[in-house]
Amino acid sequence: MESKKEIKQTLLEISNLFASTENLTILKGVNIKINSGEIHAIMGRNGCGKSTLSKIIAGHPSYEITSGKIELCGNDIEPLEPEERAQSGIFLGFQYPIEIPGVSNLEFLRVATNARRKFLKKEELDTFEFEDFVKEKLDIVKMDSAFLSRSINQGFSGGEKKRNEILQMALLEPKIAILDETDSGLDIDALRIVASGIKKIANENSGIILITHYQRLLDEIKPDFVHVMADGKIIKTGDSNLALELEKNGYDWTDEFINKN
Protein backbone atom coordinates (compact mmCIF):
# COMPACT_ATOMS: atom_id res chain seq x y z
CA MET A 1 0.00 0.00 0.00
CA GLU A 2 1.06 3.48 -0.85
CA SER A 3 1.42 5.81 2.05
CA LYS A 4 -0.78 8.88 2.06
CA LYS A 5 1.09 11.93 1.02
CA GLU A 6 0.25 15.29 2.49
CA ILE A 7 1.65 17.05 -0.55
CA LYS A 8 -1.16 18.85 -2.34
CA GLN A 9 -1.37 18.89 -6.07
CA THR A 10 -2.42 22.04 -7.91
CA LEU A 11 -5.52 21.13 -9.91
CA LEU A 12 -6.71 24.39 -11.36
CA GLU A 13 -4.75 27.54 -11.74
CA ILE A 14 -6.19 30.66 -13.27
CA SER A 15 -3.78 33.50 -13.86
CA ASN A 16 -4.58 37.05 -14.82
CA LEU A 17 -7.60 36.02 -16.83
CA PHE A 18 -9.38 38.55 -19.02
CA ALA A 19 -12.43 37.51 -20.96
CA SER A 20 -15.17 39.13 -22.98
CA THR A 21 -18.42 38.43 -24.76
CA GLU A 22 -19.80 40.51 -27.61
CA ASN A 23 -16.99 43.05 -27.14
CA LEU A 24 -17.86 43.53 -23.49
CA THR A 25 -15.04 42.77 -21.08
CA ILE A 26 -16.42 40.79 -18.17
CA LEU A 27 -13.39 39.30 -16.47
CA LYS A 28 -10.66 41.79 -15.72
CA GLY A 29 -7.77 39.84 -14.31
CA VAL A 30 -8.88 36.86 -12.25
CA ASN A 31 -6.31 34.92 -10.26
CA ILE A 32 -7.18 31.79 -8.35
CA LYS A 33 -5.46 28.52 -7.49
CA ILE A 34 -7.20 25.37 -6.33
CA ASN A 35 -5.37 22.42 -4.87
CA SER A 36 -6.59 18.90 -4.40
CA GLY A 37 -8.86 18.41 -1.44
CA GLU A 38 -9.83 22.07 -1.24
CA ILE A 39 -13.25 23.65 -1.28
CA HIS A 40 -13.41 27.24 -2.48
CA ALA A 41 -16.38 29.57 -2.43
CA ILE A 42 -16.70 32.50 -4.83
CA MET A 43 -19.18 35.10 -3.69
CA GLY A 44 -20.34 38.40 -5.08
CA ARG A 45 -23.24 40.36 -6.42
CA ASN A 46 -25.19 39.50 -9.51
CA GLY A 47 -23.26 40.57 -12.55
CA CYS A 48 -19.86 40.53 -10.88
CA GLY A 49 -18.65 37.86 -13.29
CA LYS A 50 -18.93 34.67 -11.20
CA SER A 51 -21.16 32.79 -13.62
CA THR A 52 -19.07 33.99 -16.56
CA LEU A 53 -15.98 32.60 -14.89
CA SER A 54 -17.63 29.21 -14.52
CA LYS A 55 -18.77 29.15 -18.14
CA ILE A 56 -15.34 30.12 -19.39
CA ILE A 57 -13.74 27.31 -17.43
CA ALA A 58 -16.22 24.89 -19.02
CA GLY A 59 -15.55 26.35 -22.47
CA HIS A 60 -18.80 28.06 -23.37
CA PRO A 61 -18.47 29.20 -27.01
CA SER A 62 -20.02 32.64 -26.38
CA TYR A 63 -17.02 33.85 -24.36
CA GLU A 64 -13.56 34.65 -25.47
CA ILE A 65 -10.38 34.67 -23.40
CA THR A 66 -8.53 37.85 -24.32
CA SER A 67 -5.53 37.24 -22.11
CA GLY A 68 -4.39 35.11 -19.21
CA LYS A 69 -4.41 31.38 -18.71
CA ILE A 70 -6.42 28.54 -17.24
CA GLU A 71 -4.46 25.43 -16.41
CA LEU A 72 -5.75 22.06 -15.34
CA CYS A 73 -3.01 20.05 -13.67
CA GLY A 74 -0.46 22.26 -15.38
CA ASN A 75 -1.95 22.03 -18.87
CA ASP A 76 -3.47 25.02 -20.64
CA ILE A 77 -7.09 24.16 -21.39
CA GLU A 78 -7.84 27.01 -23.78
CA PRO A 79 -7.49 24.90 -26.93
CA LEU A 80 -9.79 22.20 -25.55
CA GLU A 81 -13.39 21.76 -26.71
CA PRO A 82 -16.04 21.72 -23.98
CA GLU A 83 -16.30 17.94 -24.13
CA GLU A 84 -12.54 17.49 -23.90
CA ARG A 85 -12.53 19.65 -20.79
CA ALA A 86 -15.31 17.53 -19.31
CA GLN A 87 -13.51 14.32 -20.20
CA SER A 88 -10.32 15.59 -18.61
CA GLY A 89 -12.17 16.26 -15.37
CA ILE A 90 -13.82 19.66 -15.38
CA PHE A 91 -17.42 19.64 -14.27
CA LEU A 92 -19.81 22.57 -14.35
CA GLY A 93 -23.02 22.32 -12.38
CA PHE A 94 -25.31 24.73 -14.21
CA GLN A 95 -27.37 27.36 -12.46
CA TYR A 96 -30.20 26.69 -14.92
CA PRO A 97 -29.84 23.14 -16.24
CA ILE A 98 -31.44 23.06 -19.66
CA GLU A 99 -34.39 20.84 -20.53
CA ILE A 100 -33.80 18.62 -23.52
CA PRO A 101 -37.11 17.12 -24.57
CA GLY A 102 -36.96 13.72 -26.14
CA VAL A 103 -33.42 12.80 -25.16
CA SER A 104 -33.39 10.04 -22.57
CA ASN A 105 -31.63 10.90 -19.33
CA LEU A 106 -30.28 7.36 -18.90
CA GLU A 107 -28.81 7.21 -22.39
CA PHE A 108 -27.27 10.64 -21.93
CA LEU A 109 -25.74 9.76 -18.55
CA ARG A 110 -24.30 6.54 -19.95
CA VAL A 111 -22.64 8.16 -22.94
CA ALA A 112 -21.22 10.93 -20.73
CA THR A 113 -19.93 8.50 -18.10
CA ASN A 114 -18.29 6.31 -20.69
CA ALA A 115 -16.62 9.28 -22.34
CA ARG A 116 -15.04 10.17 -18.99
CA ARG A 117 -14.15 6.56 -18.22
CA LYS A 118 -12.50 6.20 -21.59
CA PHE A 119 -10.35 9.20 -20.80
CA LEU A 120 -9.43 7.67 -17.43
CA LYS A 121 -8.61 4.43 -19.26
CA LYS A 122 -11.30 2.63 -17.29
CA GLU A 123 -13.46 0.00 -18.90
CA GLU A 124 -16.61 1.38 -20.54
CA LEU A 125 -19.91 0.16 -19.14
CA ASP A 126 -22.57 -1.57 -21.17
CA THR A 127 -26.24 -0.82 -20.63
CA PHE A 128 -26.70 -3.35 -17.84
CA GLU A 129 -23.49 -2.54 -16.00
CA PHE A 130 -24.30 1.13 -16.25
CA GLU A 131 -27.75 0.67 -14.77
CA ASP A 132 -26.22 -0.98 -11.71
CA PHE A 133 -23.58 1.71 -11.51
CA VAL A 134 -26.03 4.57 -11.73
CA LYS A 135 -28.38 3.05 -9.19
CA GLU A 136 -25.62 3.14 -6.54
CA LYS A 137 -25.12 6.81 -7.25
CA LEU A 138 -28.83 7.61 -7.16
CA ASP A 139 -28.76 7.12 -3.39
CA ILE A 140 -26.31 9.95 -3.00
CA VAL A 141 -28.89 12.45 -4.14
CA LYS A 142 -31.93 10.44 -3.00
CA MET A 143 -33.30 10.18 -6.51
CA ASP A 144 -35.74 7.59 -7.73
CA SER A 145 -34.72 5.44 -10.69
CA ALA A 146 -37.83 6.69 -12.48
CA PHE A 147 -35.84 9.85 -13.23
CA LEU A 148 -33.62 7.88 -15.52
CA SER A 149 -36.33 7.01 -17.98
CA ARG A 150 -37.43 10.61 -18.41
CA SER A 151 -36.06 13.14 -20.89
CA ILE A 152 -33.13 15.24 -19.70
CA ASN A 153 -34.46 17.64 -17.05
CA GLN A 154 -37.80 17.86 -18.80
CA GLY A 155 -40.60 18.53 -16.38
CA PHE A 156 -38.16 18.31 -13.47
CA SER A 157 -38.78 20.63 -10.53
CA GLY A 158 -36.01 23.08 -9.63
CA GLY A 159 -34.77 20.74 -6.91
CA GLU A 160 -34.86 17.71 -9.18
CA LYS A 161 -32.81 19.48 -11.82
CA LYS A 162 -30.13 20.37 -9.27
CA ARG A 163 -30.10 16.82 -7.93
CA ASN A 164 -29.69 15.57 -11.48
CA GLU A 165 -26.64 17.84 -11.78
CA ILE A 166 -25.11 16.41 -8.61
CA LEU A 167 -25.86 12.88 -9.87
CA GLN A 168 -23.87 13.68 -12.98
CA MET A 169 -21.05 14.97 -10.85
CA ALA A 170 -21.06 11.68 -8.94
CA LEU A 171 -20.97 9.69 -12.17
CA LEU A 172 -18.23 11.70 -13.85
CA GLU A 173 -15.93 11.88 -10.81
CA PRO A 174 -14.40 15.20 -11.86
CA LYS A 175 -11.06 16.59 -10.77
CA ILE A 176 -12.55 19.98 -10.38
CA ALA A 177 -16.25 20.70 -9.93
CA ILE A 178 -17.66 24.18 -10.29
CA LEU A 179 -21.15 24.44 -8.87
CA ASP A 180 -22.86 27.59 -10.10
CA GLU A 181 -25.56 28.72 -7.67
CA THR A 182 -26.48 25.15 -6.97
CA ASP A 183 -28.33 26.40 -3.92
CA SER A 184 -30.61 28.83 -5.76
CA GLY A 185 -34.27 27.93 -5.91
CA LEU A 186 -34.00 25.11 -3.40
CA ASP A 187 -36.02 24.74 -0.24
CA ILE A 188 -34.16 23.80 2.89
CA ASP A 189 -34.75 20.03 2.56
CA ALA A 190 -33.61 19.96 -1.05
CA LEU A 191 -30.62 22.08 -0.12
CA ARG A 192 -29.61 19.53 2.54
CA ILE A 193 -29.90 16.66 0.07
CA VAL A 194 -27.81 18.49 -2.49
CA ALA A 195 -25.23 19.58 0.08
CA SER A 196 -24.86 16.12 1.58
CA GLY A 197 -24.46 14.75 -1.95
CA ILE A 198 -21.65 17.16 -2.65
CA LYS A 199 -19.95 16.26 0.61
CA LYS A 200 -20.13 12.57 -0.21
CA ILE A 201 -18.54 13.11 -3.61
CA ALA A 202 -15.83 15.48 -2.38
CA ASN A 203 -12.51 13.75 -1.78
CA GLU A 204 -8.79 14.25 -1.26
CA ASN A 205 -8.02 14.15 -4.96
CA SER A 206 -10.49 16.65 -6.24
CA GLY A 207 -11.36 20.28 -5.77
CA ILE A 208 -14.67 22.09 -5.60
CA ILE A 209 -15.66 25.66 -6.37
CA LEU A 210 -18.98 26.79 -4.96
CA ILE A 211 -20.43 29.88 -6.58
CA THR A 212 -23.10 31.48 -4.44
CA HIS A 213 -24.16 34.68 -2.86
CA TYR A 214 -25.78 33.20 0.17
CA GLN A 215 -24.35 31.86 3.34
CA ARG A 216 -26.84 28.99 3.63
CA LEU A 217 -25.00 26.54 1.36
CA LEU A 218 -21.77 27.38 3.17
CA ASP A 219 -23.43 26.49 6.49
CA GLU A 220 -23.75 22.99 5.09
CA ILE A 221 -20.39 22.77 3.31
CA LYS A 222 -17.63 24.64 5.03
CA PRO A 223 -15.22 26.14 2.47
CA ASP A 224 -11.47 26.34 3.02
CA PHE A 225 -11.26 29.60 1.14
CA VAL A 226 -13.75 32.33 0.37
CA HIS A 227 -13.16 34.75 -2.52
CA VAL A 228 -15.14 37.91 -3.05
CA MET A 229 -15.60 38.93 -6.62
CA ALA A 230 -16.54 42.39 -7.93
CA ASP A 231 -16.30 43.99 -11.33
CA GLY A 232 -14.61 40.97 -12.89
CA LYS A 233 -11.88 40.55 -10.29
CA ILE A 234 -11.30 38.80 -7.03
CA ILE A 235 -10.95 41.64 -4.58
CA LYS A 236 -10.59 39.78 -1.31
CA THR A 237 -9.77 36.27 -0.18
CA GLY A 238 -10.19 34.83 3.29
CA ASP A 239 -11.35 31.77 5.20
CA SER A 240 -14.93 30.79 5.97
CA ASN A 241 -15.27 33.71 8.35
CA LEU A 242 -15.23 36.08 5.39
CA ALA A 243 -18.51 34.58 4.24
CA LEU A 244 -20.07 35.22 7.63
CA GLU A 245 -18.83 38.77 7.49
CA LEU A 246 -20.48 39.22 4.08
CA GLU A 247 -23.69 37.80 5.45
CA LYS A 248 -23.63 40.39 8.19
CA ASN A 249 -22.36 43.46 6.31
CA GLY A 250 -23.57 42.87 2.78
CA TYR A 251 -21.74 43.78 -0.39
CA ASP A 252 -21.92 47.55 -0.31
CA TRP A 253 -18.29 47.84 0.67
CA THR A 254 -17.33 46.13 -2.59
CA ASP A 255 -18.69 49.12 -4.51
CA GLU A 256 -16.42 51.39 -2.54
CA PHE A 257 -13.56 49.12 -3.31
CA ILE A 258 -14.28 49.34 -7.03
CA ASN A 259 -14.69 53.09 -6.94
CA LYS A 260 -11.40 53.49 -5.09
CA ASN A 261 -9.60 51.50 -7.73
Partner 1 sequence: MNIIERITKGDENISDNKSNLQKITLEKLRANPIPNSKNEIWRQTNKSKFSRFLNYKFSNDFYYPQIPGHSKIENICRIFIGENKKVNLKERNWEIKELDEKEILKFLQQKIFKSDDTKNWSNLLNHFLTDKKNIVGLNISGKEIPHLEIICNSINNFFNSKTLIIKIEEGTSANISQINIGDKNSALSISSYINIGEESVVNHGIISYGKNSSHIISTLNVSQHKHSEYNLGSLQFEYDFGRLEININQVEGNAKTNIKGIQITKNNEQISTYANIAFNGPNGFLDQLNKSLANDRSHSVFEGLIIVPQIAQRTDASQLSRNLLLSNYAKIDTKPQLEIVADDVKCMHGATISQLNEDEVFYMRSRGLTLEQASQLQLRSYYQEIISFLPISKERWDLLALLLKDK
Interaction site with partner 1 (CB under 8 A): 58-61, 81-83, 85-87, 92, 94, 97-98, 100-104, 107-108, 111-112, 115-116, 119, 151-152, 168, 172
Q: Which lies closer to partner 1 via its Cβ, residue 119 or residue 251?
A: 119
Q: Which lies closer to partner 1 via its Cβ, residue 52 or residue 168?
A: 168
Q: Smallest distance from the beta carbon of 76 to partner 1, in angstroms? A: 19
Q: Smallest distance from the beta carbon of 91 to partner 1, in angstroms? A: 8
Q: Smallest distance from the beta carbon of 47 to partner 1, in angstroms? A: 21
CA-to-CA dists, residue 257 to 34, 229, 233, 251, 254, angstroms? 25, 11, 11, 10, 5
Q: Smallest distance from the beta carbon of 151 to partner 1, in angstroms? A: 8
Q: Which lies closer to partner 1 via its Cβ, residue 171 or residue 193?
A: 171
Q: Which lies closer to partner 1 via its Cβ, residue 131 or residue 219?
A: 131
Q: Smallest distance from the beta carbon of 81 to partner 1, in angstroms? A: 7
Q: Which lies closer to partner 1 via its Cβ, residue 107 or residue 247?
A: 107
